[in-house]
A = this chain, B = another copy of it.
Amino acid sequence: MPPLSTARSAQGDNPGMDTVHIWGDNLRLLVEISATAAFALSGVMVAARKRLDAVGVCAVAFLSAFGGGTVRDLLLDQRPFFWVRHVELLWGVLLLALVAMLVLRQRHFELTEKAIFWPDALGLGLFTASGMHQALLSQMPGLVAVLMGLITGVLGGVLRDMVCNEIPTVLSDHRPYAVCAFAGGWVYLGIWHTQAPGWLALLSCLAVTAGLRALAIWKRWELPAWRT
């Protein structure tokens, strides 16, 4: 993790920072794995509903799972990418897509919106937190960090929808989605500023993001439409 040392030296006025704020490597890996798996699963499901072929299913799974994180690393100029450092993730998503295809084909599993909901909401929260973490490590200002969290969380899904030739649901379904990640990002930033441990910021961000999302669907909240 190269930016660690620069972060430490540049924030010398903030002595406990590197032990308190920064996630351990294990926590970080766990978050990346969970978020990647969650989004890969959502990608498989969307591709299945669009009746793409086997290659299409794998490709959409990869785009959903790695799109957000790759763009995050590209924007923050972080090399090597997290999927180059952890090639196991690539194998995992490939395997997950193949197994999911076999299982879903046999079980006549109902691909309702409900089935996609939890993987998607959890992935959103986890990736938002991971984007915040990286951006704050790279000394980004607050709003930029929140935007990076948002991009990391949302972009996998946007690319997934764009490749499937749909207006991304984020932009058009009048349900709060990006707004949840936006709120979660600010919560992360607030807790980070209080010098609380990193896992607390992570958990709060995850809870707020996924919780708001669940609440929004349950209560049928709608975003203000354009000229109702």
Q: List A residues at the B interface (Cβ < 8 Å).
A: 47-48, 50-57, 59-60, 70, 74-75, 77, 79, 81, 83-84, 87, 90-91, 101, 105, 140-141, 143-144, 147, 158, 162-168, 170-174, 176-179, 222-227
A48 contact from B57, B140, B179, B226, Cβ within 8 A:
B226
A178 contact from B59, B147, B177, B224, Cβ within 8 A:
B59
A81 contact from B50, B75, B171, Cβ within 8 A:
B75
**Shortest Cβ distance from residue A79 to the other chain B in the assembled complex, whole angstroms:** 5
* A144-B90 contact in complex given A51-B225, A51-B226, C-beta closer than 8 Å: yes
Known: A55-B171, A87-B141. 14 other contacts (CB 8 A): A50-B167, A52-B171, A53-B224, A54-B223, A54-B226, A55-B176, A59-B170, A59-B178, A70-B75, A84-B140, A90-B144, A105-B226, A164-B167, A165-B166
**Shortest Cβ distance from residue A107 to the other chain B in the assembled complex, whole angstroms:** 11
* A55-B179 contact in complex given A84-B141, A143-B87, A144-B90, C-beta closer than 8 Å: yes
**Shortest Cβ distance from residue A83 to the other chain B in the assembled complex, whole angstroms:** 7
Give the docked Cα–Cα distance between A223 and B141 (Å): 45
Q: Are A105 and B227 in contact (CB under 8 A)?
A: yes
Give the docked Cα–Cα distance between A140 and B90 (Å): 13
Most buried by B among A53, A162, A168, A224: A53
